[in-house]
Structures are given as structure tokens and as C-alpha cells.
Structure 1
Amino acid sequence: MGDLMNEPALDPPPGVVPNFVDTGGSHAIGYGIVIASSIISTVAVLARLVSSAATKRFVLEDYLLVAALGIFAGNQYITYDLTIYPGVWAHQWNIQNNFLPHFLYNVHLGAVFYGPVAMCIKVAILVNWLRIFVPAGQRNTTFWILHTLIWTNIAFYIITTLTEIFRCSPREKIWNPFLEGGSCPVDIEAQNISTSTINFISDTTILAMPHSVIWRLQMSRSRKWGLSFLFVIGIGAWAFGVVRTVYFVQLLKSSDVVYEMSGVAIWTIWEVTTGFLIMGIPAFPRAVKSLPMSESIASLFRSWSRSSQPGGSRAGLPQWQLYKPKSRRRRGLWEISELETQELTSMRSTDGINNSISQVHVELATENGIGPNKLQIV
């Protein structure tokens, strides 16, 4: 057994000599991905919390994001551990059998962490969509679609997490291929395929839902593009989920588990990080605005901009040029700063299926120094 533990975890290709010291894995890429995604996710959640604190109202989505970030931290730790050794994109024949149980144990923990993280983020997004696009007390088509997605995701991720935890008896057989006896009745490959399929369907629906509602609103096309732009980050989560599925299919076909698992881990991290951004990006304008000295810094930049212009001094200008009447500037297309979920203005949209009128709640906030303008379209 001792000799077996010192052998390569996979037979190398002809002519390749295993190297257990320099595994060929990249450490810098792994460190960069873990650190960058951790910072981005944390900043996104903090922006959401600061925005909610500015309105003195925390909602369910905020608590779900905090829970997701805490669980995601555990996933980041085990990814960082595997980045130290053997590194990302290392081949399995460059590690010994005695390291394989440690690697598979971390993979198991990553699978256990993924379910709750994905569930918390997706439920937070869907509840937020419910708060934005469905008025209180209404039971329209959007309401039932969102509720179906919410409860389907909750049930699915709870079941798959429990089956991942208890799929083998004894549990050590999950990560120790050298353990004799025991059994693993759960077909983990079929479960992972179904997880990837459910992820694709739910991500596609989450991506399409806000746009389908926005483009039915009775408003100008430019304003529709502006609102859609706020939700476009969902394309990233959808794309990363698709790439993750591709790498997972390759993993099922390959015997080099260590190498292919790097692709699954990397794109899973970016998929989750983009999920945090979907909730965090709309909160950035309010969060920045509520920070101390934000107005002073903005005024300083404006003064620098004026002074840097040719003829920045106004002393020599004629009196008629010094006077400029104050006018309310028309808001530009990309100046929609945040979709508020606390104080929502009623908009009406026409349902293309039954021609009924459904309420859609959206607030368009501006930064004109006076206060938010609320736009009502009938």
C-alpha cells in the first residue's frame, strides 16, 4: 500500500515523466482568480448593504446575499488551497496517490458549497425581480413564473446538496478511492448533468425575465434600452454557466480529473461572482452617493474640470456671458442610476397574451441635486 500511495495518480502518456514537485499547474492564475473574484463579490454585497442602509430598510435579498457570500468564502478557501498545490491546470499524473484523497475531499466540499450559494443568489435575484416587476397583491403571469422559479430552485438545490453529502456509505468513500467496502448508490454523474441543465434553464429565464417585461412597457425605445442595460450583467452569469457545463461534460469523458476540474472550478467561481454583481451593480450609485465626502469630492472634480478648460477664469467675460439661466436638463439615456425596490413608481404595461394591463413597479432615480424624479407612464 505504501508503494501504491507514492505512485502517480494517473498513468502518464508515453514518453512523459511525472514531476511531483513542479506539477505544471499555474499558481499565479489561481491566486489572481480567487483574490479578484473575492474582492468583486464582497464589494458588490457591500454596495447593496450600504444602499439598503441609506434607505434604512433591509429586505430579504440583503440577508440572502450575506449568507451566500459567507458560504462562497468557504469555497474560495478550498480553491486557494488547491492553487497552492498542485495549481490550476495541473495534470493528474503529476500528483501522487497519497494526495488524491485530499484533492477529492476539496472537490466534494466545493460541490456541497455550490448548492447553497447558487440557491441564495438566485432566490435573491428572483425575489428582487418579484419586488420590482409585480405590484403587491397582483397575481399575473410574471408573478407565477417567478414563484415557480423560486420554489423550484429552493427544492432542487436542497435535494442535490443532501444527495452530495450522503451519496456514499460510509461518507469517506466519496473522497477516498482506496477505501475498501461501502457503496455509493447515487449516480453522481447523472445528478451533475441535471444540475447543469437546471442551471442553464434558470439562468436563461432570469436573464430573459426583466427584458421581456421592460420591452412591453409603454415608453420610448431609448428608455427601454436604458432600463435593459441595467440588467445586461445577467448575460455574464449565463455565459459562465454554459462554459462551466462544457468543462463538466469534458470532465465526464476524461480520466484526467485533476486537470479538467480546474476548468469547472474557475468558471463556477465567475458564474457565482457575476450573480453577486447582478444584485450589486444597481446599488452602486446610491451607495457611492451615501458615502461621507462624496458630494465634496464630486464638487472638487467639477471645479478642476472648469479650471482646466481654456479661459477657465471668468473675470474677463462679458456680463451677458456670465449669466446662464438655470434649466432642468433632460436626462440622458445612460443616466438611469438605480432601480429602487423601496419606493416604486407605478408603470403600466400591456400583456401581449391576454391584452390585460399589469402593474410594473420601477423607479428611475436621477442625480440633479434636487431629489429623485419619479416617472409615471400610463
Structure 2
Amino acid sequence: MNSSLLEQPGLDPPPGVIPDFVHTGGYHNFGYGLIISTSIISTVAVLARLVSSIGMRKLLIEDLLLVAALGVFSGIQYITYDLSIYPGFWTHQWNVQNGFLPHFLYNVHLGAVFYGPASLLIKISILVNWLRIFVPKNTRGPTFWILHTLIWTNVVFYFITTVTEIVRCYPREKIWNPFYEGGVCTININDQNIATSIINFISDSTILAAPQWVIWKLQMSRARKWGISLLFVIGIGAWVFGVVRLAYFIKLLWSNDATFIFSGVALWTILEVTTGFLIMGIPAFPRAAKMLPMSDSIASFFQSLWSRSGLSKTQISIPQWQFYKPKSRRRRGLWEITDLETHDMLSVATTNVNSNTTQVHTTTGGNESDDAIKTHDDPARTQIV
């Protein structure tokens, strides 16, 4: 191959623009900050989930799936780090040389390969967790079949799209090397990516809506339903990020300025995946905070500071969270949702024929007394307080 061709700009610049291969105009610090912040958030979310499960002496399959997803996500982060070093985020393709394009397109290919398994592992983790929460054992209701359909549909969908991305060209170098002569690509990648993006959008929308139907059928006050329902609102963030990623991805398929548009794909992909970790991690934060080794000492330290300052409890109230160890059994507020309620929110009603009364108990092992449950002769009046 002619070496002079590799030294030319990767794209013809607009009139009057001179390509600069040294100062590309890319944003390097933006990429570093994105990688560091999202890596910390994702890791903390997964650790909170693990600590919470270990505290309950029950490591669940969804926890292991999250750990695997975090490992795959590190591959996406590495690609973003490489992009941040050179040429930087939002760099126009005329500011890089043709010789750089195979390296760049190889990272794009790796990003597409990593995205499928990462998204699959997170979605399956969420769906398995919701299956545990919303479907009582040994039941086969509509929710059971909806969640199982989503689980296996996503497994098949992401398996097919990941495999086809890997083997779409032969030899595989043709995938990322635009200057490779010969070979054949048997799959129309543009059509596949458009279909993949649309199916992914439908899947995200269904997963977001699925728990709401169940939550609003639970026997509890409307205010409590809003509190639990809004706990899943963070899923809307993942859905929005996925939609924006879809827009950038489709634009990437038809744009010649690939280095610039791919920055948008990378940004919104990372935000979408990170939000997925938060969906599973946030409910575990209360129990994880309670299990911190120094939680009691820290709480006592702040209480002693308030005492020495001369402020009475009527002047300044002790924070209600207090590492999630309430001292009184008062009615919890709308936003005081415990880890127990978010891991195993569904109450299973069993009928005692002799007494004609309904008893409600949570499916989680132990700590039933932590969540006060009132029962009445009328099942419709059952409340969780």
C-alpha cells in the first residue's frame, strides 16, 4: 500500500479547513472524567449489591451476573480510554490520518462486541431480580410469563447479534481495515444494526414498563405505591440514554465523519450501562451502609458533636437514615424504602380456612419484624406500614 495514502487525512476537510494531526481538537479530559466517574459509580453499585447479599447470607444469581457485566464493561471503558488518549472525544475525521483508521475501526468493532454481553448480563440480572420480587414461588401468572419471555428473548437476541458482529466478514480483518483487498462480508451490517437498535429499544421499553403493572396491583396505600414505583424511575434514565445512543448509532451508519459521531455513541453507551448498574445497586445501598464496620461509631461521633454544640433535638433533628437503624417503630415516610422491600417486595397471601382471616408474610428469609405488617379480617384492607 502506498505510504503517502496512509499519511493523508481520513476525510476531506471542509473548504478553508486545514487538517491538524497533532492538535486534533479532541476533548481528552472529558473522556478521562467520564471513565473515572462511571467506573466508580458502577463499581460502588455492584459492591453495594454484593455486601447487601452477603449480609443476608444469600448470594443470588443476579449478583453474579452483575459481577460478570462489570468485567465486560471494563472492556468498553478501555476502548473509551484509548479514544480519549488519541484523538480525543469529538474529533473530526479530517484531523486524523488514514493510517489511524484501522485502529479506530477495530475499537469500534470491539465496542459493538462488548456492548451485547454487557447489556444482556445487566438486563437478565434485573429481570431475574424482578422475577424473584414480583412472582411468588410455585406460581405461573401473567407476570411470570412476561418476565420469562423477556429473559429468553434477550438471550437469543444478544447472542445472535454478538455472533454476527464477530463473523460478519471473512477474513475478519476486513471488518476494521478499509484498505484490505479481497475477502467478503456476508452480512449487511447497516441493516442489522438498524434492526438491532429498534429491537433493543422495544426491549428496554418493555423492561421499564413491566414492574409498574405489578406494583400498582399490590395491596398498599397509593402513597406507598408511588414511593416504590418511583424507585424504578432511574430505569427511565437508562431508557433515555438508550434512545439517544440509538440516534447517534443510526447517524454513525450514514456519516462519513465516523470519529466525531462515534464519540456520541461511546458517551451514551457508557451512561446507559452505568444506569443499568444503578438500577440493581441503589436498592442495596441502605443495607450495605448499615453493614459498614464503623457505622455505629460514626453515628455516635456525630451525635456527640451535636450534643457538645448545645443543640437540642428540637433545634436540630438527627438524620432519619442513621445508617438505616431506626430507633422507633413509627410510620415510614414515602421515600423510606428499605432494602428488604426492594429485594423482596411482593407479599404472599395465605388463607386460613378455619379462621377466615388472611395472613401476609414476606418471602425473604428472616427479619419479618423489621417491616411491620398489619393484617385484618378483610384482605382488601391489608397494609404495609
Return the TM-score normalized by structure 1. 0.88
2:376 aligned with 1:375: no
Listed as ranges, the gaps of 5+ residues in structure 1 are 314-325, 349-358
Q: 1:254 to 1:311 in 2, by over 3 A?
A: closer
Give the letter aligned to residue 373 of structure 2.
Answer: L
How many angstroms does 1:312 deviate by?
A: 7.5
Instruction: Give the whole-Å Cα distance in 1 for the aligned partners of 2:242 and 2:344.
Output: 33
Give the letter aligned to residue 37 of structure 1.
Answer: T
Deviation string, structure 1 residues 247-279 (Cα, Å, up to 9, x no partner): 112212311011001001100000000000000
Instruction: Give the whole-Å Cα distance in 2 for the aligned partners of 1:345 and 1:216.
Output: 10
Which residue of structure 2 aligns with residue 183 of structure 1? Answer: 184
Instruction: Give the whole-Å Cα distance in 2 for the aligned partners of 1:259 and 1:360.
Output: 55
Which residue of structure 1 aligns with residue 5 of structure 2? Answer: 4
- Correspondences of 1:201-216 after superposition (within 5 Å): 201-216=202-217
Identity of aligned residues (%): 66
Q: 1:310 to 1:299 in 2, by over 3 A?
A: closer
Residues 287 and 339 in structure 2, CA contact (< 8 A), matched pair in contact too: yes
Which residue of structure 2 aligns with residue 28 of structure 1? Answer: 29
Which residue of structure 2 aligns with residue 249 of structure 1? Answer: 250
Which residue of structure 2 aligns with residue 194 of structure 1? Answer: 195
Residues 27 and 87 in structure 1, CA contact (< 8 A), matched pair in contact too: yes
Instruction: Give the whole-Å Cα distance in 2 for the aligned partners of 1:347 and 1:231.
Output: 21
- Correspondences of 1:133-172 after superposition (within 5 Å): 133-172=134-173
Q: 1:74 to 1:311 in 2, by over 3 A?
A: closer
Which residue of structure 1 aligns with residue 100 of structure 2? Answer: 99
Return the TM-score normalized by structure 2. 0.86
Deviation string, structure 1 residues 216-237 (Cα, Å, up to 9, x no partner): 2221111111111221110110
Deviation string, structure 1 residues 284-335 (Cα, Å, up to 9, x no partner): 110111110112212322333344454689xxxxxxxxxxxx9632211111
Q: Which moved more, 1:191-200 or 1:256-265?
A: 191-200
Q: Secondary structure at the match of 2:169?
A: coil
Listed as ranges, the gaps of 5+ residues in structure 2 are 315-326, 350-359, 380-385
Q: Which moved more, 1:65-74 or 1:214-223?
A: 214-223
Residues 238 and 275 in structure 2, CA contact (< 8 A), matched pair in contact too: yes
Which residue of structure 2 aligns with residue 47 of structure 1? Answer: 48
Which residue of structure 2 aligns with residue 228 of structure 1? Answer: 229
Residues 134 and 346 in structure 2, CA contact (< 8 A), matched pair in contact too: no
Residues 134 and 345 in structure 2, CA contact (< 8 A), matched pair in contact too: no
Residues 101 and 176 in structure 1, CA contact (< 8 A), matched pair in contact too: yes
How many angstroms does 1:238 deviate by?
A: 0.5
Give the letter aligned to residue 151 of structure 1.
Answer: W
- Superposed CA RMSD in Å reads 2.4
Which residue of structure 2 aligns with residue 330 of structure 1? Answer: 331
Instruction: Give the whole-Å Cα distance in 2 for the aligned partners of 1:112 and 1:258.
Output: 18
Q: 1:195 to 1:312 in 2, by over 3 A?
A: closer
Q: 1:123 to 1:329 in 2, by over 3 A?
A: same
Give the letter aligned to residue 66 of structure 1.
Answer: V
Q: 1:88 to 1:362 in 2, by over 3 A?
A: farther
Give the letter aligned to residue 370 of structure 2.
Answer: P
What is the count of residue pairs matched by the alignment?
353
How many angstroms does 1:79 deviate by?
A: 1.1
Q: Secondary structure at the match of 2:127?
A: helix
Which residue of structure 1 aligns with residue 121 of structure 2? Answer: 120
Q: 1:333 to 1:257 in 2, by over 3 A?
A: same
2:304 aligned with 1:303: yes
Q: 1:332 to 1:181 in 2, by over 3 A?
A: same
Residues 133 and 361 in structure 1, CA contact (< 8 A), matched pair in contact too: no
How many angstroms does 1:341 deviate by?
A: 7.3
Residues 19 and 95 in structure 1, CA contact (< 8 A), matched pair in contact too: yes
Deviation string, structure 1 residues 192-249 (Cα, Å, up to 9, x no partner): 1122112211211121112221112221111111111221110110010011011112
Q: Secondary structure at the match of 2:347?
A: strand
Instruction: Give the whole-Å Cα distance in 2 for the aligned partners of 1:100 and 1:132.
Output: 48
Q: Secondary structure at the match of 2:223?
A: helix
Which residue of structure 2 aligns with residue 316 of structure 1? Answer: none
Residues 134 and 361 in structure 1, CA contact (< 8 A), matched pair in contact too: no
Residues 65 and 124 in structure 1, CA contact (< 8 A), matched pair in contact too: yes
Instruction: Give the whole-Å Cα distance in 1 for the aligned partners of 2:283 and 2:126.
Output: 12
Residues 24 and 95 in structure 2, CA contact (< 8 A), matched pair in contact too: yes
Instruction: Give the whole-Å Cα distance in 1 for the aligned partners of 2:10 and 2:34.
Output: 26
Give the letter aligned to residue 333 of structure 1.
Answer: L
Deviation string, structure 1 residues 351-377 (Cα, Å, up to 9, x no partner): xxxxxxxx99677x99xxx96124366
Give the letter aligned to residue 189 of structure 1.
Answer: N
Residues 340 and 362 in structure 1, CA contact (< 8 A), matched pair in contact too: no
Give the letter aligned to residue 372 of structure 1.
Answer: D
2:81 aligned with 1:83: no
Q: 1:230 to 1:347 in 2, by over 3 A?
A: farther
Residues 283 and 343 in structure 2, CA contact (< 8 A), matched pair in contact too: no
